[in-house]
Amino acid sequence: MSTLDFVGLQPGAATVRGFAPAVAKPIAAQGSGDALVRIAGLTVAFDDGKRHVPVLHGIDLEIRRGETIGIVGESGCGKSVTWLAALRLLGKRARIGGTVSLDGQPMHDFSDAAMARIRGKQIAMIFQDPASSLNPVHRIGRQLAESISLHRGLTGQAARAEALRLLDRVHIPNPGQRLSAYPHELSGGMNQRVMIAMALAGEPDLLVADEPTTALDATIQAQILDLLREIRQDSGMALALISHDLGVIADICDRVMVMYAGRVVEAADSRALFATPGHPYTQGLLAALPDLDAPHRRLEAIAGTVPEPGKLPGGCSFRLRCPHADADCAAEVPGLGHIDKAHQVACLKADSL
């Protein structure tokens, strides 16, 4: 993976308009009762036939109704796996621990059928590569209608009318024509709009958007993000936006979680995170972002590479790349601690930085 990739310098980063988050809401208090989704101590290991390779080491996070959170981190840090595990979409080779609760109900008690009813209906998910995320042999209309009949019980003409409404909702021109198109006949941006329309069919409480714009070019990225923002405002659904790109996150999210090597290393209100990043890793990510006011400033990328899962150093996983690390950092894995009411950091040195 290239350095550019990890600091979020895809073409889209150029569209960032400064770091002030759109809406600044208070951070969700730990343990508050009104969480829509709460993930606690989530661990995932993959069984590769010989051994278990741990990729998540205990993720805690919470999303309240209507809230938008951003999840950032380098490729491979476990952003996707977190949500795929929560929705039980990882397949048999994944060993999952910890709890995920929806409206206070622990989901590991749910049967497979109950999980299927949650997917798309309460928690919908869209993915990075819209072109391959739609089935190439079925028409757009059929794939949309499938979701509509599943979640709303509509069929025939009623389903078609709803499909048209949804395509219109995501600003797809000529929706009538698009219904009979195949995914390969649409552009990546259009396919991602179709994915969003499909996700909206279930009127979910939470939409997990897993790098929804990474595969698209810059102008399309901005359009899709605008669409997500607009839908979130109109529908009041919560949004979990996964991205490599801090700029994108800054633009839409109330809160941000920074992940590194299968752990959350910093969680804060967006404004606080961008103003006073507490973790050396977050500081490195921010330092590497291009600054629109001074476009020629040298970028400071974080030295070193992400350790592979299963080959983490003891203690803090970031210590080998960290300018502030010392012997204490090798002793134990730092837990998330509050440095402020709305700001948690997993770093022994957080207070002195």
Bridge partner residues of 241 (DSSP)? 70, 209
Cβ-based neighbour number of residue 209 at 10 Å: 28
For residue 178, give Cα distances in angstroms to 51, 141, 172, 175, 183: 47, 7, 8, 5, 9
76 binds, among other proteins, Mg ion, ligand ATP, none (CB under 5 to 8 A by kind): ligand ATP
Q: How far is the CB of 317 from ligand ATP (least distance, A)?
A: 13
Write b or e for each residue in 226-265: b if 16 or more Cβ atoms lie within 10 A of its Cβ, otherwise e.
ebbbebbeebebbbbbbbbbbbbbbbbbbbbbbbbbbbbb
CA distance 58 to 333: 11
Q: Where are the alpha helices (DSSP H) in the chain?
A: 3-6, 79-86, 112-118, 130-133, 140-152, 156-169, 175-179, 188-201, 218-235, 246-252, 270-275, 280-287, 327-331
Indicate which single residue of 77, 241, 246, 289 sits in contact with ligand ATP (rule: CB under 6 A).
Answer: 77
Q: Map residues 190-229 to x or -, x wherever contact with ligand ATP holds by CB under 6 A.
A: ---------------------x------------------
Q: How many residues bind ligand ATP (CB under 6 A)?
A: 14
Q: How far is the CB of 196 from other proteins (least distance, A)?
A: 12
Is the CB of residue 232 less than 8 Å from the CB of residue 203? no
* Residue 75 interacting with ligand ATP (CB under 6 A): yes
CA distance 195 to 166: 11
Indicate which single residue of 309, 315, 322, 339 sits in contact with ligand ATP (rule: CB under 6 A).
Answer: 309
Which residue matches tokens 């291009």?
A: 290
Q: Map residues 34-73 to x or -, x wherever contact with other proteins holds by CB under 8 A.
A: ----------------------------------------
Taking CB under 5 A as the criterion, which residues in 75-114 touch Mg ion?
Answer: 80
Indicate which single residue of 64, 244, 255, 321 sits in contact with ligand ATP (rule: CB under 6 A).
Answer: 244
Taking CB under 8 A as the criterion, which residues in 78-97 touch other proteins?
Answer: 84, 87, 89
C-alpha count within 13 angstroms, C-beta hemisphere, residue 63: 28
* Residue 81 interacting with ligand ATP (CB under 6 A): yes
Is the CB of residue 291 less than 8 Å from the CB of residue 13? no
* Residue 79 interacting with ligand ATP (CB under 6 A): yes
Q: Map residues 98-137 to x or -, x wherever contact with other proteins holds by CB under 8 A.
A: --------------xx--xxxxxx--xx-x-x--xxxxxx
Q: How far is the CB of 88 from ligand ATP (least distance, A)?
A: 13
Tell me phi and psi for residue 212, to 5 degrees: -70, -15
CA distance 154 to 66: 26
Tell me which residues touch other proteins (CB under 8 A).
84, 87, 89, 112-113, 116-121, 124-125, 127, 129, 132-139, 146-147, 150-151, 182, 184-189, 195, 198-199, 201-202, 216-217, 219-220
Summarize as ranges the residues that interact with ligand ATP (CB under 6 A). 46, 55, 73, 75-81, 93, 211, 244, 309
